Amino acid sequence: MPEMKKLPNQSRRLWHFLRRERDGATAIEFGIVALPFFMLLVALIEIGLVFFGNFTLENAVDRAARMIRTGEAQGAGFDAGAFKTEVCSNVYAMLDCSGGLKVDVRTFENFGGVALPPPLDGDGNLIDDFEFNPGVGGDIVVVRAFYEWDLIASVPGAGLGNMAGGSRLLSATAAFRNEPF
Q: How many CB atoms lie within 10 A of CB 117?
A: 12
CA atoms within 13 A on the CB side of 90: 19
Output the pLDDT for position 19.
66
Output the pLDDT for position 155.
54
Quick one: three-class SS letters along the chain? CCCHHHCCHHHHHHHHHHHHCCCCHHHHHHHHHHHHHHHHHHHHHHHHHHHHHHHHHHHHHHHHHHHHHCCHHHHCCCCHHHHHHHHHCCCCCCCCCCCCEEEEEEEECCHHHCCCCCCECCCCCECCCCCECCCCCCCEEEEEEEEEECCCCCCCCCCCCCCCCCCEEEEEEEEEECCCC
Output the pLDDT for position 95.
84
Consecutive sets of 10 residues in the chain, 181 residues long: mean pLDDT of each?
A: 59 68 75 89 89 94 96 94 93 80 94 92 90 94 94 68 86 96 82
Output the pLDDT for position 141.
96
Q: Are 172 and 57 in contact (CB under 8 A)?
A: yes
Output the pLDDT for position 17.
66
Cα–Cα dist 33/93, whole Å: 35
Output the pLDDT for position 28.
83
Cα–Cα dist 29/15, whole Å: 23
Q: Are 116 and 142 in contact (CB under 8 A)?
A: yes
